Structure 1
Amino acid sequence: MEIFTESQFSACYMQYREKVNGYIFSRVRDREEAEDLTQDVFEHIWRCREGVRMVTLQNLVFRVMRNTVIDYLRRRYMKKSRMDIYSYGEVQCGRNTVEEDYCYKELRFVHEKMVKRLTERRRQVYLLYFYKGMSYASIAGRLGVAECTVGAHLLRAHRMVRMGVDRAYRNKAG
């Protein structure tokens, strides 16, 4: 079995860096973030170098690139929706009315209650992802499960929490 050498990695980096960066920038629309994600792509390839074969290198680079972007966009979406819960009631001037404070505290309470209702594994995944900021890969390694399992747990947990918070908000408004 051939081993992916440092010189081959350097050649790979030089050959694909611009394409990877361009694709990532087209999806995330932030130059600094695109550069960081590009580095993440090549770091991942370097860490997995024992399994890299030159005949499938291009496919590997593009697959890792696509998965990195999807993971980033998923985290950004989940973080934004979580922040919507926590930033509820904030006024531009930085002060809240008594009613807004009450609604905010009520929504936080419902959110925490919904998180407690999750199964143990889903709660672990949810908390590690949102509160510790861990990636799918890190969570998978820590819990000893596959990354796709982490994604499935997170999707279901987020859906359940969001439905509970939305339901409470609609009942409050109605």
Structure 2
Amino acid sequence: MACASSSRKVFNYLVNVVSILGLLTWISILVTYLYFFKAVRAQGYDRKRDFVYYAPLQPYGAWISLFICCLIAITKNFTVFIRGFDYKSFITGYIGIPIYVIAIFGWKIIKKTKTVKPEDADLVTYKDVIDAETEEFERLEAERIAQRNGKKDASWWYDHSIGYVF
């Protein structure tokens, strides 16, 4: 491609492929979260009571984000249809979608997997490991704060300034 096209065109092709695959990754993350949320509700958990952190505006934020990501995935290369059809831009802009669909359904067909029902989803395996890790972190954090003795050292300034960014 580098010999037949300018480097700018080749770079645009790579950007097209990477951006559609990035959008499909976010779509997968959002769908996974929505299935998780459905399982949490089906099994009687209360997000505000049972979880240390719960995201505000959920599940509506996930649904809106999913809609926007799908809309962008479909329309991100619409100019290929307006300015005269360029098959290279069309292929690089949309190749990820059929590959993604084929990969998902291919896995389902070959491995004969089924979608897990929300009431059957396993939400507690390895929870004891996570709980132990959380307790260890909280213990170490309490020790760190106790050692500080209310002094505003570099660690305190980091926690109350640039630490918020991260």
Q: Structure 2-normalised TM-score?
A: 0.28
**Counting helix residues as a fraction of each chain, which structure ranks higher?**
1
Q: Structure 1-normalised TM-score?
A: 0.27
Please identify the structure whose Cα radius of gyration is greater.
2
- Return the structure number with greater relative CO, CA threshold 8 A, min gap 6: 2
